[in-house]
Structure 1
Amino acid sequence: MMDYHSDMIAEDVVGEMIRRVTGMAMLYGVQKTVTNWEFPEQQEAMPFTLFPSLMPAEVFTRTRRVHIMFQTLIYRVANDHEFMKKCLKDVLPVDDFTQEFWNIYNTVREEGPAQEITLTLSRDDFMMEPKADGSKGQDVKQVEFNTFASGAGGVIGAMRDVHRYSLNVAGFPLKEDQLPENCPSKGLAKGLVKAWQLYGNDRAVVLFVVGIPEPNSPDQRWLERHMFESEPRARVIYRTFDQLIQASKLGENKELLVDDYEVAVVYYRYGYSPKHYPTRKEYDLRLKMERSRAIKCPSMASHLAGCKKIQQVLAEPRVLERFISDPVTVAEIRSVFVGLYRLNQDGSSSAVIEKALANPDQFVMKPQREGGGNNHFGAELKSFLEKIKNTQELSSWILMDRIRVVEHRNRLIRVGLGPECRDVCSELGIFGVHLSTPGEELENFECGWLLRTKPVEANEGGLFSGFSCLDSPFFVDV
């Protein structure tokens, strides 16, 4: 590998470097909003790494290839009602939130959908671990597949320029192909524009469903910017659930009407957490939008197909073959799975439960949730599992082997964390676009990546929950 390491920076110059690179990060747009809904908005720099992280180029080649396979897999799952019903049958009675979503999905399915086109802007998250045989290189293991509100595709595109600058200031040599171009928001915007075109009404708009407060608004504006540059007629409007409850309705032909606009595409950046649904009105709103002619991003079927429980079932023997006939593709998808285990009250899970209680640091407990901050680790996992192991709630969780992460060194620039060089690990997310009808995949492509880096002792990896920092891959040969 190249002799480049963030430990090589003298401590007496680190402070000045951080000030300069942080200013450049703000200039390039690595920002988050720190106000609520006021005007003008106030921004500060997103957490980021001072330097890019070394990574084998082969890791990217493999994850980008397998992500396209996963998009086809999740598409087929979302169109297999009986499979999803079987996967979720133990979850629905004990998870009210997932049950509400299932009711919406099933209501529209039985009525017959007004719109058969579905858009999914996905992100498949992976972590790297040392090869089991002790050889050089890294194995890639899947963390989760996100079908809903997959964020940071805008702000991550600026990190290449930030890291080109930081390497230059530090005097580290750089070959351009070691720090490749990455602009996921252009590809994601292409998907939104294509869906808008397929809707067939030039006067209709793309609705961004957002929340308040919304720290991720700069990321959403990157998407709008690239949509505008690609197709200025595809206008964007932003609305919250509260605004939509008051100002949305269905037209005579199930058009989704918001104020004076007809909506061509509903793009959800909000609505993935139980706290987003404090009353019955929010669920009724989701049902209304799902019933409409607008193209949903994602549809409720695709949203449910991203559940952790379905991820767990797909990892079981002979399940992938239900959806994919090519054995090479099956083998490649299966190679990125870690151990995933169902948790049931009927006694079938007793062995894995006892193993997790005896070795809690080897596992992660996950519910059917998006957005970070929902999982249990270590002593907390043991305490929580002891509490629910004899209750019906057990069925709403899955158990996952904890990935043995590859550790490296970097400096994390974030509030409350000193400038010292730390032991860190990284999570790689691959963005993709999938546009389809129940009978045909219209578009299926990957469009860039998100690299997040955190201290090795941190369990969660969310950017906006304060755990991780934006990063770039510095490609090296192993």
Structure 2
Amino acid sequence: MATLHCMNDEDYPPDLSEDRLFSLVSQIKDWQINHGSLLKQVDSETENSVLSYPVGVSCFPSPLPRARFEQALDLQEIYNKLYCSIAEDEEWIYDTIKDMIASEPLAKALWGIYEAAKDAGHVQDISAGVFRSDYMFHLTEAASVDRWADLSKTALKQVEFNSYSCSGFSHANKAANMHRHLARIGVYDMTDKPFPVDSLPINHNIDSVASILALAHKEYGPPKSKLASKTAILFIVQPYNFNVADERPIEYALWNRDEIVPNYRLDFPDVLEYTKLTEKRALLFHPPWLASEKPVEISVVYQRAGYEAHEYNKAGWDGRLQLEKSTAIKCPSVLGHLTTFKKVQQALTKSGALERFLSPSEVARIRETFVPVHPLDESTEGLEARRIACDPKRSTNYVLKPSLEGGGNNVYGNAIPAFLKSTPITDWSRYILMESIHPPDADNLLVGSACLDGGKTVSELGVLGCCLWQRTKRTTAKKSGTRCDMLQNSVGGWTFKTKFAEIDEMSVVKGYGCFDTPRLVDF
């Protein structure tokens, strides 16, 4: 059992001498080079070389209350169950997003693909999920002079739930290993106090994501088509991808398993060029770079592209439909993709919404993590939210969020009224208005490709959920429909990101934040 560590280090992080600071930064750079904690500079690519630069990381692990870390991990299986259940509830999803379909191009494209696939008839009842539930730590009382006491007054509050193309897991895994290595070799030790290495939790993101994909691959079974030589997982990725160091480790882990799981990459939207459906809709993949004359039958489609509206031109729309119609297990399906919309997060805060999917005890635990979230539609609640959002004073405590992924899309505080004024009122229903979370800050040094700088920082914890479930028919005296039977429901690991307190966004790959490791503390 790990030793409990009380947080009373008033000088943490330590004020390092110039020599020790130089050594720390040098060791971080060496670690990142040797372990692929890098982003690819795509426009630098030549026939035989490519430039890369280090992903942003914290120099020191940031303090996090152990109780909040454990609470977040303990909740993940409930959140997994919730979102898997939603992904099989067509009626609830449609009622939630129907007002967006006319005004939000991505919602329109995805719902159209779902309906076309439904008309063709579903041929695969099993789905997989790689989820991430993001939290910040909200101060429940006014901030005090004692910053460690502030940490003890925090409540776990959900920022958002991600169910599609979740990224950062490999980078976070590497950052955790880096901080543990630096702690082991004494970089963080003070003169009379060794750093508690066991306060840094171990991370297993890469193995966890690979394991859920491998389980889905096994569940699919042998090829269904006599034309295929074998089965394999297909990663659907964006072309000219700068974030390959986050995706590739999962592929390598699958190839390196004792029981090898073949897997390949395919740029989106080039699906129709390299795949075809058999009469029974097995998905066959045969790119020219594979030596075998026989195509590979795809067991699992792992989506790491297709989360932006512009990707759904005709080739993208038709390609995604082909994937959705196939017998391959989708990670996730189109309905599963739609659950990542912020409108879903907002709808779940309504009275009675959670009770449709969870038990009363589960509902109580989940609801503790919610902050007020409002629609910007023409309902009574939506009209009041519009008044708040258009008020320069009242809007300062809110964040305006669209149903878009990738970071950099939110509008904060007193910038909201001007943004809405420049946005057609017919498009306002695409957004939700979320009350701001006010986390405590901590001192840290952050290092990236551009600079090394210190100051007040705030952190965000993401918890990895790994799921496999099956859609089954449900018939009762009152209603009929579908239900979700969990085949695998587990916590895979975590991400921990830190940014300077004055910066609103957290996206690391876009340069706003850094990957970090929590230093778990007790009070």
TM over 0.5: yes
TM-score, scaled to structure 1? 0.94
Match of 2:241 among 185, 210, 214: 214
Rounded Cα–Cα distance in structure 2 between residues aligned with 1:444 and 1:323? 15
Does 2:177 align with 1:177? no
Task: Report the counterpart of residue 444 of structure 1 in structure 2.
Answer: 489
Query: Structure 2: which amino acid aligns with 1:151?
Result: S
Distance in 2 (CA, whole Å) between partners of 1:231 and 1:313 is 43
Tell me what 2:361 maps to: 328
Q: Secondary structure at the match of 1:154?
A: helix
Is the 8 Å Cα contact of residues 235 and 304 (structure 2) preserved in structure 1?
A: yes
Letter in 1 for 2:209: L
CA distance in 1 between partners of 2:20 and 2:260 (Å) = 49
My pick for the range that moved more, 151-160 or 56-65, is 151-160
The whole-number CA distance in structure 2 between the counterparts of 1:50 and 1:9 is 11
Q: Summarize the alignment of residues 224-303 of structure 1 with structure 2, pairs less than 5 Å apart.
A: 224-259=251-286, 260-277=295-312, 279-303=313-337
1:163-197 deviation digits (Å, cap 9, x = unpaired): 13434224342333201211211111100000111
Contact 1:7 1:421 in 2 (8 A): no
Report whether the alignment pairs 1:378 with 2:413: yes
Secondary structure of the structure 2 residue equivalent to 1:90: helix
> Matched residues in 2 for 1:19 and 1:293: separation?
50
User: Is residue 269–residue 311 contact of structure 2 (8 Å, CA) maintained in 1?
Assistant: no
Question: Gaps (5+ residues) in structure 2?
Answer: 1-6, 144-148, 224-229, 287-294, 473-484
1:231 Cα deviation after fit: 4.6
Q: How does 1:364-443 map to 2 (within 5 A)?
A: 364-388=399-423, 391-417=425-451, 419-439=452-472, 440-443=485-488
- Please identify, of 311-320 and 16-25, the stretch whose mean Cα deviation from structure 2 is larger: 16-25
What number of residue pairs does the alignment pair up? 474
1:6 corresponds to which residue? Answer: 13
* Counterpart position of 1:142: 158
Structure with greater Cα Rg: 2
Matches of 1:370 and 1:420, distance apart in 2: 28
Shift of residue 412 of structure 1? 0.6
Asked if residue 23 in structure 1 is aligned to residue 30 in structure 2, the reply is yes
**1:153 and 2:186 aligned:** no
In structure 1, what is the Cα distance between the partners aligned to 2:136 and 2:30? 30
Q: SS in structure 2 opposite 1:6?
A: coil
Q: Is the 8 A contact 1:124 1:142 kept in 2?
A: yes
Shift in Å, 1:375 = 1.1
Conservation of the 8 A alpha-carbon contact between 1:25 and 1:45 = yes
- Quickly say closer, same or farther: Cα 1:296–1:41, change in 2 above 3 A: farther
2:40/2:52 contact within 8 Å kept? yes
Cα offset for 1:346?
5.3
1:349–1:475: structure 2 CA closer, same or farther, 3 Å change rule?
Answer: same
Q: CA deviation at 1:13?
A: 4.1
For 1:31-56, what per-residue CA distance to the aligned partner results, in whole angstroms no more than 9, with x for missing partners? Answer: 22223665555433211000100111
Q: C-alpha distance in 1, partners of 2:397/2:351?
A: 22
Shift of 1:351: 2.2
Q: Which moved more, 1:7-16 or 1:145-154?
A: 7-16
Q: What is the rounded CA distance, in whole Å, between the counterparts of 1:157 and 1:287 in structure 2? A: 33
- Report the CA distance between 1:350 and its aligned residue: 2.7
Distance 1:364 1:175 in 2: 37
In structure 2, how many angstroms separate the alpha carbons of the residues matched to 1:88 and 1:392? 15
Q: 3-12 vs 300-309, which deviates more?
A: 3-12
Matched position secondary structure for 2:405 = coil
Q: Are positions 1:475 and 2:493 aligned together?
A: no
Opposite residue 244 of structure 1, the aligned amino acid is V
d(CA) in 2 for partners of 1:242, 1:86: 29
Instruction: Measure the CA separation in 1 of the matches of 2:419 and 2:383.
Output: 15
- The 2-side partners of 1:308 and 1:400 are apart by 10
- Note the 1:86-105 alignment, pairs <5 A: 86-105=95-114
Q: State the partner residue of 2:506.
A: 461
Match of 1:50 in 2: 59
Partner-residue secondary structure (3-state), 2:270: helix
Answer yes or no: is 1:342 the counterpart of 2:375: yes
Which residue does 1:314 correspond to in 2?
A: 348
Q: Does 1:127 align with 2:143?
A: no
Give the direction of change, closer, same or farther, for the CA distance of 1:175–1:199 in structure 2 (3 Å limit): same
What secondary structure sits across from 2:299 in the alignment?
Answer: strand
